[in-house]
Amino acid sequence: MRIIQCQSTQEAVELTASIMLEKVFSYPDAKIGLATGRTMEPVYEKFSHLVNDSKASLNGNFFFMLDEYKGFTINHASTFQYYINKHFVGPLKLTSDQIAFPPAHLSDGGENYEKLIKKKGGVDLQLLGIGRNGHIGFNEPGSMKNSRTRFVKLTEETLFANQDQFTDQIPTEALSMGIGTIMEAQSLLMLATGKSKADPIKYLLNHHDDPNCPATFLKDHPHFTLVLDPEAASKINLKI
Ligand code: GLP
């Protein structure tokens, strides 16, 4: 596990976006897993600027979304599909055949998505945030290390943290890549910013393989990079 403590949120965001850019530069057919959340909004903005400024082509790249709420119509304003279209697909002018969303409207959506990931050759770089309760994607506390893409029940805590995403309807479930699915990506890149992430980051660094904090499972991944801003790193004490 590689931990990078940045001097500011901006530096952490820019570093994350530049690692993504480096991946698509070095591997023009790289498959990138995308996450949602407030943390990622400035990353996608920066990444879009970097791509546009460098005139890099993303024509050969493919993107997978990490998770999706169940129970909404396609592209409803509360869906992650809507979020990623707004913050990523639109600004980068990607075509609809360059991105896949967990098919939360299908009862066998998990199986379908796993097959698609395999068919495309797997994920090269998986971008991740972290929930306040240590969830990854929507792998809430209690998730198993070998879990696959499946429907998961959302906790009250997560619904509360994400409440500003909901307008007319509050979801109870989501289709999320499992921890086992995420662990199969070639590399993992987690970004945590802000003081609400200080506790989960402290827990992550002090525990291992703990289902109470699914993020701890990721520490076994051979290429796991964790990027922190000063607030997210405020409760840890790393000797440099
Ligand atoms: C959601 C997503 C996660 C994300 C988390 C943190 O629950 N499913 O992938 O990491 O939110 O979001 P934020 O960045 O808004 O704190």
Residue 239: the pLDDT is 63
Residue from 9, 36, 190 whose mutation best tests the ligand 1 pocket (most atoms within 8 A of CB): 36
State the Cα torsion 40-46-48-51 to the nearest 10°.
-130
Residue 74: the pLDDT is 87
Q: 87: part of which helix (H) or strand (E)?
A: none
124 lines ligand 1 (CB under 6 A): no
Q: Which residues contact 36 (CB under 8 A, 6 or more apart)?
A: 65, 66, 67, 80, 83, 84, 129
Angle between helices 40-54 and 9-26 (to 10 degrees): 50
Residue nearest to atom 8 of ligand 1 (CA): 137
Query: What is the 129 CA–ligand 1 centroid distance (Å)?
Result: 6
89 lines ligand 1 (CB under 6 A): no
Can you tell me the distance from the alpha carbon of 112 to that of 219, in angstroms, rounded to the nearest whole number? 27
Residue from 130, 166, 176 whose mutation best tests the ligand 1 pocket (most atoms within 8 A of CB): 130
Query: What is the 13 CA–ligand 1 centroid distance (Å)?
Result: 15
Amino acid residing at 140: E
Residue 75: the pLDDT is 87
Residue 200: the pLDDT is 98
Say what the pTM is: 0.96
Query: What is the 22 CA–ligand 1 centroid distance (Å)?
Result: 24
pLDDT digit string (tens) for the chain, length 240 residues: 999 999 999 999 999 999 999 999 999 999 999 999 999 999 999 999 999 999 889 999 999 999 999 999 988 999 999 999 999 999 999 999 999 999 999 999 999 999 999 999 999 999 999 999 999 999 999 999 999 999 999 999 999 999 999 988 999 999 999 999 999 999 999 999 999 999 999 999 999 999 999 999 999 999 999 999 999 999 998 765
DSSP class of 149: S
